[in-house]
Amino acid sequence: MAEPGALSEIDAGPAGLAVRLRGVTKVYDNGVAALGPLDLDVRKGEFISLLGPSGCGKSTALRLIAGLNAPSSGEVGVAHRSREAQAAHSIGFVFQEPTLMPWTSVRENVRLPLRIAHASPAEADARVAEALAQVGLADFADAYPRELSGGMKMRASLARALVTDPDILLMDEPFAALDEITRFRLNNDLLALWRNLRKTVIFVTHSVFESVYLSQRIVVMTARPGRIAAEIRIDAPEPRTEDFRTSPAYAGYCREVSNALAPSYAGQAVS
């Protein structure tokens, strides 16, 4: 077992895993047992959602995978293309809030990870332009965050996560605060990006409907301390369109996921 808090490398071959959690737990200093024990495998290029009640450890799991926190016990394994990639931001993180710097432009917000990585100006310019184009913000590179809508701010946050060309994209309820129409549009755009780039995506959400629409697999978690209650594969044709949202198959999957989730909310107020 790796030393707690250290990310170990796992097989990054063509059929390998992107993430592997084994016996992972997290107990905070105040004694709250937030997570685990948790065992989870995520394949390269897979899109999965973590779904569960508030406080069940979904965000904690993302932070452990990203190396932002250390597990109390167990092993977190992450695959990388190379040791150089491991050192150069091979994980992108999109938080629930865009966390953009208000005093500078969209372009400079997206450039920040490359500044930290000491990328050359020419390389940074090219990568920033590509990331902004990928999320549909090429025409807003010189805008300031205060000039953007909520959806556009989240696109800028996504571009910032993509600018280092990460292997793994971790997304912590990124669309939760958006109106329904904007959320649907960003769901569609995120799926299009995933199909084009084939990143491994681990997506945290409270929404059954969003998880079914986006995911290849949904990991339903129990109430705190979070463990896996069920894993449900969504075998829907690709590409997914608005027709899928109104199909009997979609309704059936939503019903199945809701039923699997219900015990996790027993005795709780639904948030």
d(CA 218, CA 204): 10
**Cβ–Cβ contacts within 10 Å for residue 158, how many?**
26
Sign of the Cα pseudo-torsion (8, 14, 18, 23, in order):
negative
As given in the structure block, the two tokens for residue 12 are 């990054």
Total length of the chain: 271
d(CA 47, CA 217): 7
pLDDT at residue 1 in the model: 36
pLDDT at residue 241 in the model: 87
End-to-end CA distance of the chain: 37
d(CA 143, CA 39): 43
For 227-246, the pLDDT digits (tens) are 999 999 999 988 888 899 99
Find all residues with CB under 8 Å of 180, minimum gap 6, and list them: none
pLDDT at residue 264 in the model: 87
What torsion do the CA atoms of 234, 236, 241, 247 make, to the nearest 10 degrees? -90
Mean of pLDDT values over 8-28: 77
Residue 110 pLDDT grade (very low, low, confident, very high; cuts 50, 70, 90): very high
**Cβ–Cβ contacts within 10 Å for residue 62, how many?**
23
d(CA 108, CA 128): 9
d(CA 231, CA 243): 24
**DSSP at 262:** G
Residue 3 pLDDT grade (very low, low, confident, very high; cuts 50, 70, 90): very low
Residue 80 pLDDT grade (very low, low, confident, very high; cuts 50, 70, 90): low
**DSSP at 60:** H
Mean of pLDDT values over 22-27: 96
Residue 267 pLDDT grade (very low, low, confident, very high; cuts 50, 70, 90): low
What torsion do the CA atoms of 114, 118, 121, 125 make, to the nearest 10 degrees? -10
